[in-house]
């Protein structure tokens, strides 16, 4: 339960944070929180937690980060996960520091380097739009219900197993693709 003393402490913290920001740069979320008792209660608990974990001072010095900027990036199509979240959710590596028992290791059945990079990006930045999640699920469902299409696609991608298609294209665009890599790349394209 939040007492009036807690609310006053939160308002003082908010004023301190606002003082660290450029003039009139207080995030909209914090402006609205001043008039909402439940938000002040949540902020009180948050500030207590940050103080207990010795992170409150870090927040106070991070005046370059505003909630408005964070909100803009977090309302995109993908979640923004920091390194702590990636570690705690064992998305990329397990406690043993291997991918074997991680979410990425469990999902990784890729045959190409560019496919592995794509899966890595998808694991690090999960979709948050329900429509995009549904579209991806429909694509996966289609490939599961049409095994002949999956087999053809896999066979085609296996031709690029030794060639990193994405990297070759990037090097070609920057005029740094070596002749042997170019020949291998074009041979693989012709074989598809």
For the segment 128-187, what is each residue's pLDDT rounded down to a tens digit? 888 889 999 999 999 999 999 999 998 888 888 877 878 887 887 777 778 887 887 787
DSSP readout, the chain? ---HHHHHHHHHHHHHHHHHSPTT---HHHHHHTT-HHHHHHHHHHHHHHHHTT-HHHHHH-TT--HHHHHHHHTSSB----HHHHHHTTSS--TTSSSTTSHHHHH---SSHHHHHHHHHHHHS-B--HHHHHHHHHHHHHHHH-HHHHHHHHHHHHTTSSS-HHHHHHHHHTT---HHHHHHHHHHHHT-
pLDDT for position 170: 80
**pLDDT band of 21, cuts 50, 70, 90:** low
- Whether this prediction's pTM lies above 0.85 is answered by no
Mean pLDDT computed over every residue of the chain: 78
Decide which of 87 and 27 is more confident: 87
């Amino acid at each position: 339960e939040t007492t009036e003393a807690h609310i006053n402490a939160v308002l003082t913290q908010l004023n301190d944070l606002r003082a660290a920001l450029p003039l009139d740069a207080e995030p909209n979320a914090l402006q609205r929180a001043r008039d909402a008792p439940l938000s002040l209660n949540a902020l009180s608990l948050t500030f207590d937690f940050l103080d207990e974990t010795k992170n409150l001072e870090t927040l106070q010095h991070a005046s370059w980060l505003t909630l408005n900027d964070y909100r803009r990036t977090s309302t995109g199509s993908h979640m923004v996960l920091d390194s702590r979240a990636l570690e705690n959710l064992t998305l990329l590596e397990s406690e043993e520091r291997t991918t074997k028992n991680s979410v990425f290791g469990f999902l990784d059945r890729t045959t190409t380097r560019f496919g592995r990079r794509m899966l890595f990006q998808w694991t690090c930045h999960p979709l948050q739009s329900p429509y995009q999640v549904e579209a991806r699920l429909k694509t996966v469902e289609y490939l599961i219900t049409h095994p002949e299409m999956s087999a053809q696609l896999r066979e085609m991608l296996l031709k690029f197993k030794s060639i990193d298609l994405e990297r070759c294209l990037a090097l070609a665009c920057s005029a740094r693709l070596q002749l042997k890599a170019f020949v291998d790349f074009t041979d693989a394209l012709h074989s598809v």
